[in-house]
Amino acid sequence: MGICVGLQAIFSGSVEDVGCPGLGIIPYSLDRFDDASKSVPHIGWNNATCLSNPTLYDLRPDSKYYYVHSYKYPYKEGELEGLGWSVATATYGTETFVGAVARGNIMATQFHPEKSGVAGLRVLRAFLTGSGATGLNAQQPTVDGAASTSSGAVAGMGLTRRVIACLDVRTNDQGDLVVTKGDQYDVREKSADRGVRNLGKPVDMARRYYEQGADEVTFLNITSFRDCPLADLPMLEILRRTSETVFVPLTIGGGIRDTVDTDGTKVSALEIATMYFKSGADKVSIGSDAVLAAEEYYAGGKSLFGNTAVEQISRAYGNQAVVVSVDPKRVHVPKADATRHATVRTQYLGPKGEEYCWYACTIKGGRETRDLDVVELTQAVEAMGAGEILLNCIDKDGTNSGFDLELIEQVKQAVRIPVIASSGAGNPSHFEEVFDKTTTDAALGAGMFHRGEYTVKQVKDYLAEKGQIVRQFEGDL
C-alpha cells in the first residue's frame, strides 16, 4: 500500500526530481499542478470516485478524502484501466487527476486515508482485511476491455470548503493546560482576579470538534514552557493523545525555532518540528521567527540562506508541512503613496478619515510591530518554502464581526500558496461571506466554537444551505 508520495513512487518518474526514477510499476511520469488560478499545494478534502468499480477498497462517491500534494498524474480515460488498473479520480479546478489506483496486491492513494476521518479508516480496513482486493476481482470491464471513469462524473464536486477549529493552548495560573481565547490576544478575564480564561481541556475539545466535522484541528501553543525539557513538552503529549481518536490533520504552532534545551544543548527548529511530527502533527506553524527571517531575506537582497526554520523544515518534510502564522494589524494612511508599503483602499476609514491602510506584521503575540507589511512577509516565506498561510488579523481578533475581507484578498493576490482566513468569526454567516467574497482556501473559527455559541456542524450545515461544497462527519466506522 502506498500513501501520497507512496502512490507517486510507483510511477516511472516525476518533474519534481527528473533525476530520481520511480519504481516504474506504472510506466508514466507525474507533473505539477499548473493552472495559475489554483493554489498549490492542493490541500483539502476532495473526491476519490471510481464509476467502473464503486466498491474499490470501500471508496464511496459521496465521501471526501484529505489530499495534500503539489504533483499529480493527470487522468486520461481508459489509459491506466487498459493496463489492468482500477482507478479513482478527483478534480481540482479544471484538472482531473488520479486519486487512487489498485491492481492485484497493490493499493495506492494520493489522499491520506489515515487523515480522512471515517471514510479513510474504511479504506484502511478494506486493505488490512483483504476485502478491497477481493472486490477488485468482481470488477466488470467495459466492452473494449477498459473501465470507464469519466471526468465529467465529478463535475460540480471536487474540493470542499475547509472549516478549521483552532485551539489556543496555554498553562493557567494553576499550571494546568487549558484552551483559552482573548480579545486582541489578551487571554485574561476582565474580572478582578484577571485569571487566564479557561474554556476546556485541549484533547477533549479537539475530539468534540472532530466529531462535529472539523476538517482540521490547529493547536497554537501560547506558553513557552521555558523550564521544561524539550523531550517532555506538554504539547507532545497533547498531540499523542489527540491523534489516537482524531483522524483529521493536526497542526501545531508555537516555539518552533532554534533554541537551547534546559541542559544547554542546542536544538534546531527542524529537530523540534520532528518531535511534533513523531507525536502526531501533520503540519507545524511558525510565527515570529518567520517575520525575522523575512527581514533578513530582504536585507540580503531577497537571498535565501537555507538556515531559517521555514527552509529547514520544508526541505526535510516538504512545503505542505509548513504553515506560517501571520499577525498583521492595520496602519491607516491618507493616500496610497504616503508609505512604501502595499496599501489597500479601505471601506473602514481611519480615525482621521484616512481612506487607505497597510497591514503591519507583528511578533511576540502582537506585542511588537515591525516595518514589514503582510505582502512582503507572505511573499518572502513562500520563496523560503512555506506551503500555507494562516492569516490572522489583530484588529478583528475577538470582535465576532467577521473576517477582514480586504486583508484576505490582498494576500491571496500576492501569493500562490493556500491561505487560511482567521480572526473575527462570530457566526456561520461570516464563513459563508468569506468563501463567497474572497478566494480564501479555508476559514478558521475559535471562540464561537469554544463558548458553545455555534458548533462546527452548524457552520457546515449553513454553508451547505448556501450552496457551498462541504464535508460532513460520517459517524462511526
Omega of the bond leading into 141 within 30 degrees of 0 (cis): no
Query: Which of 327, 376, 404, 406 is labelled catalytic?
Result: 327
Neighbouring-strand partners of residue 183: 186
Active site residue 79: no
Active site residue 296: no
Amino acid identity, residue 125? R
The CA distance from 447 to 398, in Å, is 7
HEC letters along the chain: CEECHHHHHCEEEECCCCCCCCCCCEEEEEEECCCCCCCCCEEEEECCECCCCCCHHHCCCCCCEEEEECEECECCCCCCHHHCCEEEEEEECCEEEEEEEEECCEEEECCCHHHCHHHHHHHHHHHHHCHHHHHHHCCCCCCCCCCCCCHHHHCCCCCCCEEEEEEEEEECCCCCEEEECCECCECECCCCCCCECCCCCHHHHHHHHHHHCCCEEEEEECCCCCCCCHHHCHHHHHHHHHHCCCCCCEEEECCCCCEECCCCCEECHHHHHHHHHHCCCCEEEECHHHHHHHHHHHHCCCCCCCCCHHHHHHHHHCHHHEEEEECEEEEEECCHHHCCCCEEECCCCCCCCCCEEEEEEEECCCCEEEEEEHHHHHHHHHHHCCCEEEECCCCCCCCCCCCCHHHHHHHHHHCCCCEEECCCCCCHHHHHHHHHHCCCCEEEECHHHHCCCCCHHHHHHHHHHCCCCCCCCCCCC
Active site residue 69: no
Query: Which of 114, 258, 433, 461 is labelled catalytic?
Result: 114
Active site residue 204: no
Query: Which of 58, 81, 168, 376 is labelled catalytic?
Result: 168
Active site residue 4: yes
Query: Which of 42, 50, 58, 112 is labelled catalytic?
Result: 112
Catalytic residues: 4, 112, 114, 168, 327
